[in-house]
Amino acid sequence: MRIGIILYPTYGGSGVVATELGVALAMRGHEVHFFSTSRPFRLPAFQERTYFHEVPVVGYDLFDHTPYTLTLSSTLFDAFKMYKLDVLHAHYAIPHATAAYLAREMNGGLPPVITTCHGTDITLVGAHPAYAPVVKFTLEQSNAVTAVSHDLARETRENIGYMGKTNVIYNFIDTELYKREKCVMRRDWLATADEPIILHISNFRPVKRIPDIITAFANVRNNVKAKLVLVGDGPARSNAELQVRELGLQGEVRFLGKQTGLIDLLSVGDIYLLPSNKESFGLSALEAMSCEMPVVGYDVGGLPEVVIHNETGFLHPVGDIEGLSASILQLVKDKDLRHKMAQAGRRRATEVFHINNIIPQYEKLYLDTLHETEAQCLSKASHRSLSSKSATT
Ligand code: GMT
């Protein structure tokens, strides 16, 4: 098939999933066209059967903000003419699904649009009254809608009021790629041999509750030796650095900023933290599980569909920093428990979320949606020709 994928190019789960999905589809023989404002950071240097279409950002004196939705729609429309795409897959509803809808209508109703809701497009920004009506309309106009967890499918109904079918297709992991590597990195650069490394990777947005991570680590550090390694960057970073200085933990907490060698980093971590306010799935938790790390976080959104409490990690109610600290402490102290949970996490990643289980679900959805949409277009066309004949007789 010829598949168009619209995505955000930068750090963030939806862009990662969209890129890895496109790459996997290309490896399975499909032609894949990526649409974004810049080359997605996870897209390999060159990959057969993949194309990248840069969406122009065209400003004008009158515009306070450039209307990206419109330039994206025009870019998509041009690509339909040139490449005859079979399906168009929009990752993140705002504004990608809306631009996809516009482009499809400009093109006479084809190709079908599949929208994947990733999380904050439904639970946070998408639920804001400034966006909710257009998100609802756009989902209703999509030819198929997917969500990355059952919890997000529920939120799509309850938050947005979208009552159509939402197909739940979980995020996936290539467990051959995401596996614990030996000696890939000097672990002793980060911690001594007897200090477990507690790891968190994110875009440092307030939703990730970085202050909870630091407070919980401070509680743990009062009892045992351990190191906290924070990877990524974003609006919450400078306050987090301040909090670490105020707690006098500069020697124990390392801020590594944005990094690309994630598998190396995941391979030296011992416990992974993800205590978000909201997490529709928690891709980074899955990456950690695949690299044999127990996950400690909050029992929220789709995270309990990924992390099984007491089996592959521990989940506590949002804001329960005491619970968080107690679970981290237990894992720091008990190496056998850490190992057992790490193995259970790796098994779950392989059995439930393996890339080879999930990609065929998207392929089937693409084909089914294409056939349905073509049939609808044919029936509309024959209805139109019948009514024009009866009007002339
Ligand atoms: O919150 C992020 O890290 C980015 C965000 C996005 O949309 O780019 O992630 C969301 O999509 C990911 C991929 O499907 C999910 O794994 C994350 O759980 C989800 N984030 C939230 O719901 C906060």
Dump pLDDT digits (tens) for 326-359: 999 999 999 999 999 999 999 999 999 999 999 9
| Total domains, the chain | 2
Q: What is the pLDDT of residue 311?
A: 98
> Can you tell me the distance from the alpha carbon of 169 to that of 172, in angstroms, rounded to the nearest whole number?
9
Give the nearest ligand 1 atom to 15 CA.
8
Is 60 a domain residue?
A: yes
Same domain, 202 and 258: yes
Q: Is the pTM of this model over 0.85?
A: yes
Same domain, 145 and 199: no
Same domain, 78 and 195: no
The values of phi and psi at residue 147, to 5°, are -135, 150
Quote the ligand 1 centre to 60 CA distance (angstroms).
Answer: 32
Q: What is the residue whose two structure tokens read 């079979």?
A: 86
Is 9 a domain residue?
A: yes
Average of per-residue pLDDT across 359-386: 89
Which of 169, 182, 206 has its CA nearest to residue 359? 169
Q: Contact at 8 Å (CB) between 19 and 25?
A: no
Which of 131, 144, 145, 74 has its CA nearest to residue 104? 74
Same domain, 63 and 137: yes
Q: What is the pLDDT of residue 184?
A: 56
Is 392 a domain residue?
A: no
Give the nearest ligand 1 atom to 203 CA.
3
The values of phi and psi at residue 10, to 5°, are -95, -175
Q: Which amino acid residue places its CA nearest to atom 4 of ligand 1?
A: 12
Residue 32: both structure tokens together: 């894949």
Which of 108, 137, 104 has its CA nearest to residue 6? 104
Same domain, 337 and 214: yes
Query: Which residues have a Cβ under 8 Å from the Cβ of 177 and sit 6 or more positions away?
Result: 263
Give the nearest ligand 1 atom to 284 CA.
16
- pLDDT mean across residues, the chain: 95
- Residues framing ligand 1 (Cβ under 6 A): 12-14, 17, 92, 118-120, 148, 171, 202-203, 207, 276, 278-283
Query: Which residues have a Cβ under 8 Å from the Cβ of 283 and sit 6 or more positions away?
Result: 13, 16, 17, 171
Q: Contact at 8 Å (CB) between 272 and 2?
A: no
Is 177 a domain residue?
A: no
> Can you tell me the distance from the alpha carbon of 181 to that of 177, in angstroms, rounded to the nearest whole number?
10
Is 393 a domain residue?
A: no
Does residue 112 have a pLDDT over 70? yes
In the chain, the percentage of residues whose pLDDT exceeds 70 is 98
Same domain, 25 and 163: yes
- 162 three-class SS: coil
Dump pLDDT digits (tens) for 299-312: 999 999 999 999 99
Residue 28: both structure tokens together: 């399975």
Q: What is the pLDDT of residue 46?
A: 86
Q: Contact at 8 Å (CB) between 17 and 171?
A: yes
Q: Band the pLDDT of 11: cuts 50, 70, 90.
A: low
Same domain, 57 and 154: yes
Is 364 a domain residue?
A: yes
**Structural domain of 254:** 187-352
Lowest mean per-residue pLDDT among 84-88, 259-263, 351-355, 389-393: 389-393
CATH number at residue 251: 3.40.50.2000
Half-sphere exposure of 347 (CA within 13 A, CB side): 10
Same domain, 43 and 150: yes
Average of per-residue pLDDT across 41-50: 89
Same domain, 49 and 134: yes
Q: Contact at 8 Å (CB) between 302 and 152?
A: yes
Dump pLDDT digits (tens) for 234-291: 999 999 999 999 999 999 999 999 998 889 999 999 999 999 999 999 999 999 999 9
Same domain, 253 and 234: yes
Dump pLDDT digits (tens) for 20-34: 999 999 999 999 999
Same domain, 292 and 338: yes
Same domain, 258 and 305: yes
Dump pLDDT digits (tens) for 172-224: 999 999 999 876 567 889 999 999 999 999 999 999 999 999 999 999 999 99
Q: What is the pLDDT of residue 185?
A: 63
Residue 42: both structure tokens together: 């996870």
